[in-house]
Amino acid sequence: MSFYNLSSTSSGDLAAIAQITRDAGVNLDDCYQCGKCSAGCPLSDEMDLYPRKVIRMLQLGQVSAVLKSRAPWVCATCMTCTARCPQQIDIDSLMLSVRHAAKRAGLRPVREADIFDDLFMAGVRRYGKSNEALLAARFNLSSGHLFQDVLNAPKMAKRGMIGPSLHKVKDRAAMRRLFGRALRTTEGEKGDGI
Amino acid sequence: MRYAYFPGCSAASTGISFTLSASYVAKRIGLELVEMPDWCCCGTSAALVTSRDLAHALPARSLALAEQAGLDLDVVTPCAGCFSSLKRTVHYARQSDKNRHRLEEIIELPYAATADVMSLLEVMARPEAMEPLAAAITKSLNGLRVASYYGCALVRPQEVTCFDDPEDPQSMDSLMELAGAEPVRWAFKTECCGASHQISEPHGARRLIARVFENAAANGAEAIAVACPLCMLNLDMREAGINESRAVPFDIPVFYFTELLGLAMGGSARRLGIDRHFWPTGKAVRKALAPPPEPSPDNHSTSELPQEVTVA
């Protein structure tokens, strides 16, 4: 049983929660805490807060604990929670919005997930296509997990699954412009739906 | 049958066997795939966790370039991840003109969102493909017990994917049945393989793969069929590693559904890319291709193997 000090919730916390739910297209009041999201989540045993509890804490205004949680970073966006929610709450989208808010606040509760996704996007920004071997190598160097999967590399090379050449788009400058504009667009002027 | 083709980044690398087997099957059934001009990475979940605008803009650029080139065709992609990203973008763009204009501004291209997006599995499970498939299938897969594994991205969320049942999909099972395999009824058809978490968070994610194999084994599967290059890599490449900590190892080869269709059409294991797998496929392929038993009462000569098949 956990206890939360509800009197510590500030209007700033409530504003932060309002932005998260607006970005996610979710109404927290729809959730009556049945727990189906957490029961079906394949990664819940890796989460410090089950999806149900993420929603409950946001309902209670406890945004700072949620922003520090590993849960949205452990989420694999498999969308099982969203598919099964009897209230049609887009929990998957809520997890994404919490992660976006945490990142904006300079938090990264699961370092490896942050490194992997940033490196993935850096590669796409540069080449326009994802080059899996380069991504895996850069991930190992940046994360410090130097020898992860290295024994698979020669096997993959032998099977023609990885090679020395890089896949690229022709118009690489267009990719850089696209990334610049997509990441510059500010919060609060989102389109309709998600 | 003519479609614009979005290969995805894995098509020429980790998903090479999907490309080989899909193009073999496509050619045999008259499915024409026209590669989209200068397509870029769909962004997959890495773009989604970075920014929603980015996750919509990356597919929108490829789709808009196809429109600009006058490629007035619906889009097909073999990869479940690409399918999810592209389909989500079309859904978003069609929700309102405001959304569409927002994307046009980011990608600096007009984008009308006229083309629909489908996965290769969906296209092949349509009646107009099932008919030529049935005609091209010359060998029965001998009742090989195949567990069709759909994963997440093809079936969820259903209001976006508009494809099959999110809990108990049937399209791949139907194709396997058409090829003479016996579809396995099992509970993990749409469970998650862990996707890129197998790299970024292997400690927690490995057990997701183990559970898929465990449920397939518990239901007597002799093979698993997949429709996603990342599901394939996670299952096939990591089966040996998972077995290291198991008293009773799994022994279930993993195939792209197109590889099994190709085998049933008489394609060789090498041509279909089956010789590039990590986990040995020989036993399943031999069973699938064994000549049917003679209808004589004295029947004990069914173990002879076709000589032209060489497998890992």
What is the rounded radius of gyration, in angstroms, for the C-alpha atoms of chain B? 20
Cα–Cα separations (whole angstroms), residue A10 to A7, A15, A16: 8, 9, 10
List chain B residues with CB under 8 Å of A124.
40-41, 43, 46-47, 58
Tokens of residue B62, six digits = 């490829």
Chain B, residues 29-68, CB within 8 A of chain A, namely 38-41, 43-54, 57-58, 61
User: What are the tens digits of pLDDT across the range B280-308?
Assistant: 999 999 999 998 766 665 555 444 444 45
Residue B170 contacts A where some CB pair is shorter than 8 Å: no
Between B12, B57, B98, which is nearest A182 by CB? B57
Using CA atoms, how far apart are residues A117 and B133, in angstroms rounded to an integer? Answer: 39
How confident is the model at residue A5, as a pLDDT? 83
pLDDT for B291 equals 83
Does B197 lie in the same domain as B102? no
Nearest CA in chain A to B13: A161
Specify if B300 maps to a domain.
no
Task: Read off the pLDDT of residues B48-100 as tens digits, 9 standing for 90 and up.
Answer: 999 999 999 999 999 999 999 999 999 999 999 999 999 999 999 999 999 99
The 3 state secondary structure assigned to chain B is CEEEECCCCCCCCCCHHHHHHHHHHHHHHCCEEEECCCCCCCCHHHHHHHCHHHHHHHHHHHHHHHHHCCCCCCEEECCHHHHHHHHHHHHHHHHCHHHHHHHHHHHCCCCCCCCCEEEHHHHHCCHHHHHHHHHHCCCCCCCCEEEEECCCCCCCCHHHHCCCCCCCCCHHHHHHHHCCCEECCCCCCCCCCCCCHHHHCHHHHHHHHHHHHHHHHHCCCCEEEECCHHHHHHHHHCHHHHHCCCCCCCCCCEEEHHHHHHHHCCCCHHHHCHHHCCCCCHHHHHHHHCCCCCCCCCCCCCCCCCCCCCCC
Which CATH number belongs to the domain containing residue B189 in this structure?
A: 3.40.50.11810
The 3 state secondary structure assigned to chain A is CCCCCHHHCCHHHHHHHHHHHHHHCCCHHHCCCCCHHHHHCCCHHHCCCCHHHHHHHHHCCCHHHHHCCCHHHHCCCCCHHHHHCCCCCCHHHHHHHHHHHHHHCCCCCCHHHHHHHHHHHHHHHHHCCCCHHHHHHHHHHHHCCCCCCCCHHHHHHHCCCCCCCCCCCCCHHHHHHHHHHHHHCCCCCCCCCC
Q: Is position B311 within any domain?
A: no
Same domain, B151 and B242: yes
What's the confidence (pLDDT) of residue B303? 47
> Are B88 and B160 part of one and the same domain?
no
pLDDT beneath 50: ranges in chain B: 301-307
B116 with B146, same domain: the answer is no
pLDDT of A7: 87
**Nearest residue, CB atoms, A136 vs list B57, B199, B211:** B199
Phi, psi of B126 (to 5 degrees): -80, 150
Q: How far apart are CA A171 and CA B62, in angstroms?
A: 12
* Residue B216, in any domain of the structure: yes
pLDDT value of position A188: 43
Residue B237 lies in a domain: yes
Which residues 218-237 of B have a C-beta within 8 angstroms of A? Answer: 237
Is B88 inside any structural domain?
yes
ipTM here: 0.93
B 99-158 residues with CB < 8 A to A: 99, 102, 105-108, 152, 156-158
Indicate if the alpha-carbon torsion angle A93, A97, A103, A107 is positive or negative.
negative
Of A45, A167, A181, the CB nearest to B9: A167
Both B95 and B162 in a single domain? no
Residue B105 located in a structural domain:
yes
| B37, B172: one domain | no
Residues in B closer than 8 angstroms to A149, CB to CB, are 199
Distance from CA of A5 to the nearest CA of B (A): 30
Flag whether B132 is in a domain. Answer: no
Each residue's pLDDT expressed in tens, for chain A with a length of 194 residues = 577 788 889 999 999 999 999 999 999 999 999 999 999 999 999 999 999 999 999 999 999 999 999 999 999 999 999 999 999 999 999 999 999 999 999 999 999 999 999 999 999 999 999 999 999 999 999 999 999 999 999 999 999 999 888 999 999 999 999 999 999 864 444 555 54
Domain termination residue (choose one: B94, B120, B146): B120
Residues A167, A131: contact at Cβ < 8 Å?
Answer: yes
Enclosing domain of residue B266: 138-289
Inter-chain contact B58–A124, Cβ cutoff 8 Å?
yes
Nearest to B13 among A99, A132, A190 (CB): A132
Question: A101-136, pLDDT tens digit by residue?
Answer: 999 999 999 999 999 999 999 999 999 999 999 999
CATH at residue B32:
1.20.1050.140
Asked if A76 and B194 come within 8 Å (Cβ–Cβ), the reply is yes
Closest CA of chain A from B132, distance in Å: 31
Select the residue of B95, B158, B166 nearest A192 (Cβ to Cβ): B95
The residues near A50 (Cβ < 8 Å, ≥ 6 apart) are A35, A37, A38, A41, A44, A71
Verify whether the Cβ–Cβ distance A167 to B10 is below 8 Å. no
pLDDT of residue A189: 47
Q: What's residue A4's pLDDT?
A: 79
**A182 and B9: CB-CB below 8 Å?**
no
Asked whether the beta carbons of residue A77 and residue B48 sit closer than 8 angstroms, the reply is: yes
| B202 and B248 inside one domain | yes
pLDDT of residue B308: 52
> Which residue in B41, B48, B166 is closest to A96 by CB distance?
B48
Residue B22 sits in the same domain as residue B161? no
Q: Tell whether B191 and B87 lie within a shared domain.
A: no
Percent of chain B with pLDDT over 90: 93
Same domain, B115 and B144: no
Q: What pLDDT, on the 0 to 100 scale, is given for residue A8?
A: 86
B282 and B148 co-located in one domain: yes
Q: How many CA atoms lie within 13 A of B131 on its CB side?
A: 4
The residue with tokens 């698993």 is B224
Query: B280 with B162, same domain?
Result: yes
Determine the distance from the C-alpha atom of residue B251 to the mean position of all C-alpha atoms in its chain, rounded to a whole number: 21
Predicted confidence at residue B301, as pLDDT, reads 47
Domain count along chain B: 2
- B87, part of any domain: yes
B156: amino acid identity, one letter: R
A175, amino acid identity: M
Give the whole-angstrom CA distance, residue A37 versus residue A52: 6
